[in-house]
Amino acid sequence: MTALLSVRDLVKTFPGRRGRTGRAGPPVRAVDGVSFDLGAGETLGLVGESGCGKSTTGRLVVRLLDPTEGSITLDGQDIGGLGPAGMRPYRKHLQMVFQDPHSSLNPRQTVARIISEPLLVQGASAADARRRAAELMDLVGLVPEQLDRYPHEFSGGQAQRIGIARSLATSPRLVVADEPVSALDVSVQAQVVNLMERLQRELGLAYLFIAHDLSVVKRVCDRVAVMYLGRIVEIGDKHEVYGSPAHPYTRALLSAVPLPDPAAERARERIVLLGDPPSPADPPSGCTFHPRCPKAQERCRTEQPLLRIAGPGTRQAACHFPEA
C-alpha cells in the first residue's frame, strides 16, 4: 500500500489548566507519539474512550490544529509544519465531518451558502459554487430545491447529509469523520453510514473514521486503531483486531460490545476495567494502562511498551504480554 496519508510520531501538547492557586498545571500531552498510514480509498477506524486523543488526532490531520511534534505527510509532502498560506493548496484534499450536525452548521446561513463556502474560499465564482452545491445535495440524497433553506429546517440525519455535502465540495481525497453518527437516532445512523459507504465507493474517498461505537467501526473500516491516553495501543486489519484482540485494553473494549446472539451474549466473559482513565496531565509510569490492566506485572510499571507485531498477521500491539 502506498500511503495517501502518513502520520509519524505525532504529538499535541496543550497548556495545563490553571488551578485554584492560579498556577498553571503541567502541560497535557493529548496526543503522545501517534503513527499510522492510510491508503487511498481506505477506511481506518480510530476508537477509544472519550478523552483518549482521537478527536485531537483527527483535527491535527486536517490541520485545524498545529502539531507540537511529528510529521503529517499527504501524498509524499509533509504538511505538518505548514502555515495557513502553505496549507492552501492542500486544504481541498482534507475535509472533516463533525459529530453534531446542527452545531457544526451556521444557523444564519442557507444550505447553499454552507455547502458553497469551501469552494468560494478556493476562488470559485458564486454561480459555479451554487451549481456544485445543487449537485452535492443530489449526491447526498437531498433535494436541490432545499438549497435556500436554513439548517433548523432539517432533521438531524438531513443536517448530517448537509455536513457531508459540505465536506465533499472540494472533491477531497481524505475525509476525517469525527463520530459522524453518534449524535443521530439509531434508526438514522444506518442510513448515514450507508451513504458514507456509497460515497466512498463512488468517489474513491479515504476515511479516518473516529468513533467510540465499536460495532459501527467494525462495519465501515478496513483497519482499526485503538487509542488509550494519547497513544495507539493496537492497530491492524479489522478481522485480526476484532477476531483476536492482542492488547488487554482492546479485549476489554470488545468484551463490552453486545453480541447479536443471546446465548453467546450470556456465555461470553465480560472484562470490567477498574477505575476511570487517568488524567493525561498526570499519566501513570511505564505502560499507562497498568493501573487498570488485569494482566499487569512488575515490568509494566516501569517500562513503556512500544507498538510491535503481535500474533501471526501484521497487527501491532503495545503490550509486554500480548495475547497470543
- Of 30, 105, 252, 319, the one binding ligand SF4 by CB under 6 A: 319
- Of 98, 207, 242, 289, the one binding ligand SF4 by CB under 6 A: 289
Between 207 and 228, CB nearer to ligand SF4: 228
Which sign, positive or negative, has the C-alpha torsion 258, 259, 262, 263? Answer: negative
Tell whether residue 104 is a contact of Mg ion (CB under 5 A).
Answer: no
Between 261 and 269, CB nearer to ligand SF4: 269
DSSP 84-130: HHHHHHHHTTEEEE-S-TTTTS-TTS-HHHHHHHHHHHTT--HHHHH
Q: For residue 281, give the C-alpha cell.
A: 496531565
Are 74 and 93 spatial neighbours (Cβ–Cβ below 8 Å)? yes
Q: For residue 75, give the C-alpha cell.
A: 501524498
Instruction: Choose from Mg ion, ligand SF4, none: what does 319 bind? Cβ within 5-8 Å by kind.
Output: ligand SF4
Please identify which residue in the block is written with the cell numbers 500491539.
Answer: 317
In angstroms, what is the minimal distance from the CB of 289 to ligand SF4?
5
C-alpha closest to that of 71 among 96, 34, 38, 28: 34
Between 48 and 248, CB nearer to ligand SF4: 248
Applying CB under 6 A, the span of 72-80, 122-130, 161-169, 288-296 interacting with ligand SF4 comes to 288-296
Measure the CA–CA gap between 164 and 43, rounded to whole angstroms: 16
DSSP annotation of 310 reads: -
Q: For residue 166, give the C-alpha cell.
A: 459540505
Are 208 and 232 spatial neighbours (Cβ–Cβ below 8 Å)? no
Instruction: Choose from Mg ion, ligand SF4, none: what does 158 bind? Cβ within 5-8 Å by kind.
Output: none
Measure the CA–CA gap between 7 and 30, rounded to whole angstroms: 16
Which sign, positive or negative, has the C-alpha torsion 208, 211, 267, 250? Answer: positive
Of residues 234 through 263, those in contact with ligand SF4 by CB under 6 A are 247-248
Element containing residue 168 per DSSP (H, E) = helix 156-168
Instruction: Choose from ligand SF4, Mg ion, none: what does 287 bind? Cβ within 5-8 Å by kind.
Output: ligand SF4
Applying CB under 6 A, the span of 30-38, 77-85, 211-219, 287-295 interacting with ligand SF4 comes to 287-295
Tell whether residue 55 is a contact of Mg ion (CB under 5 A).
Answer: yes
Tell whether residue 320 is a contact of ligand SF4 (CB under 6 A).
Answer: yes
# residues near ligand SF4 by CB under 6 A = 13
- Of 293, 307, 311, 315, the one binding ligand SF4 by CB under 6 A: 293
Tell whether residue 287 is a contact of ligand SF4 (CB under 6 A).
Answer: yes
- Of 73, 219, 296, 313, the one binding ligand SF4 by CB under 6 A: 296
Distances (CA, A) of 77 to 2, 4, 37, 224, 287: 13, 10, 14, 24, 33
- Of 62, 305, 315, 316, the one binding ligand SF4 by CB under 6 A: 305
Between 8 and 295, CB nearer to ligand SF4: 295
In angstroms, what is the minimal distance from the CB of 300 to ligand SF4?
3
Instruction: Choose from Mg ion, ligand SF4, none: what does 55 bind? Cβ within 5-8 Å by kind.
Output: Mg ion
Q: In the complex, which residues of this chain contact ligand SF4 (CB under 6 A)?
A: 247-248, 287, 289-290, 293, 295-296, 300, 305, 319-321
